[in-house]
Chain A
């Protein structure tokens, strides 16, 4: 018997819900572009009975079910590399330096965090590893990351060093922060910059003068305006917190949506978990990219 699935029955006569179901299915199957993703999150606000997680789970279960029996096994050389990485990971007992880490959104973690109970935007596949500096300088360690395509690196890596290296690249841009709208969370003399490399699709934000926020009340959120996104739907760079009372703060940027020719980086202050479309009422810092 073949089923007729042409008319989802859960939300009859609700075009918004039917559009949302389509977007959720598309996202789980092959991903969405920026405007569609923004539309999906806006619709989810109106339909809290639906969730990204359940569709990711369905797609994962279907993929598992569709996997053929005659699939080739993991290549031996790759397995050996993975096992070396596993051994290094297992041996690494360094705890995450808690004072240095002020906020994080798991890398590529739409699936990883999809099992979290919350529907907060923070669990989307964006990446920000935010590290705060202590008074002695901007130190910063992030959890293990794959370093090179050829192998696994599970050693803690200094973000300061990575930022410095990125600044040496001819294709990297460095843009200073300037005050957007005066805000209680931002000193008028706040400074810092954004280093961004389009080729790597990665960058770093450095702040001094952005005040400690209470994540139960508000969180900072990064937006990246670029030529491949409409101005009203900038790339959502993720949320982060500042919990270091002194010194500089370094935040790694790893947007999940491809950024082409960034024109402006902006920090807004939003409700906990962030928002999908910002009202831009609280816009303490902006970093416009000069053309040419």
Chain B
């Protein structure tokens, strides 16, 4: 298990701050550019996210989530807030479905956190249609209406897929935590 950079930052280790960029920069950039309307917007978001990460280092609790998931949580929350503040940018500005369709090869389990590997297994149990809806929702931040427009699915189906998929992933992660507390990231 990698050292906790966030714990090092919280204890005043200045070098760890820079190390977070190396370790989590790819993940944060990946999320930011999908949620953002332009590259410059994504770059601003990444900078805000890293400041959030550094400021929040003292709150990291490895018994609750892995560091990678903690950083992803901060990133996603910041990106959702930015998008809502940006006052409804047209979703036509978001990446096209053709682009999204190519996003099929996920990372091997060894390269992601234990929670993400569990989530990956849960996702694999979903139909391709459900997976597509979840990808548009979670990775790109599309609204239900936007997903319905892109996919041609009825709005009610989109809502069901997005909600039930995430609810299921959450159930699997929670049951894993309860049944295997020792497996929780350290």
A residues touching B (Cβ–Cβ < 8 Å)?
1-3, 5-6, 8, 10, 21-22, 25-26, 28-31, 53-75, 78-79, 81-83, 85-87, 89-91, 106-117, 125, 143-146, 149, 151-152, 154, 201, 256-258
Contacts and interface: CB of A to CB of B under 8 A. Distances in A.
Nearest to B78: A108
A152 B139 contact: no
20 contacts: A25-B163, A29-B137, A31-B80, A53-B64, A57-B65, A59-B166, A63-B138, A64-B112, A65-B112, A66-B135, A66-B138, A67-B31, A67-B139, A69-B105, A73-B25, A78-B47, A90-B15, A107-B55, A111-B77, A256-B85
5 tightest CB-CB pairs across the interface, nearest first?
Answer: A90-B14, A5-B164, A111-B77, A111-B73, A112-B56
A87 B50 CA distance: 12
B170 A111 contact: no
Contacts of A87: 14, 17-18
B127 A8 contact: no
Nearest to B125: A3
B173 interface: yes
Given A61-B119, A82-B21, A146-B47, A106 B55 contact: yes
Given A30-B142, A55-B170, 6 more contacts: A25-B163, A31-B81, A57-B73, A60-B69, A91-B14, A112-B77
Contacts of B102: 68
Interface string B27-56: 111110100000010011011101111111
A258 B138 contact: no
Given A30-B80, A60-B69, A82 B14 contact: no
Given A5-B164, A58-B170, A68 B104 contact: yes
User: Which range holds the interface residue count of chain B?
Assistant: 35 or more
Contact of A2 (B55, B125, B143): B125
A67 B30 contact: yes
A19 to B, nearest CB: 11
Nearest to A143: B55
Contacts of A65: 106-107, 112, 116-117, 119-120, 123
Interface in B71-90: 72-78, 80-81, 83-85, 87
Contacts of A54: 170, 173-174
A28 B46 CA distance: 19
A176 B44 CA distance: 34
By DSSP majority rule, is chain B's interface helix, strand, loop, or mixed?
Answer: helix
Given A6-B160, A91-B14, A108 B81 contact: yes
A110 to B, nearest CB: 4
A109 B166 contact: no
B168 interface: yes
A202 B113 CA distance: 36
Contacts of B75: 60, 111
A88 B106 CA distance: 35
Contacts of B7: none
B21 A58 contact: no
B20 interface: yes
A25 to B, nearest CB: 4
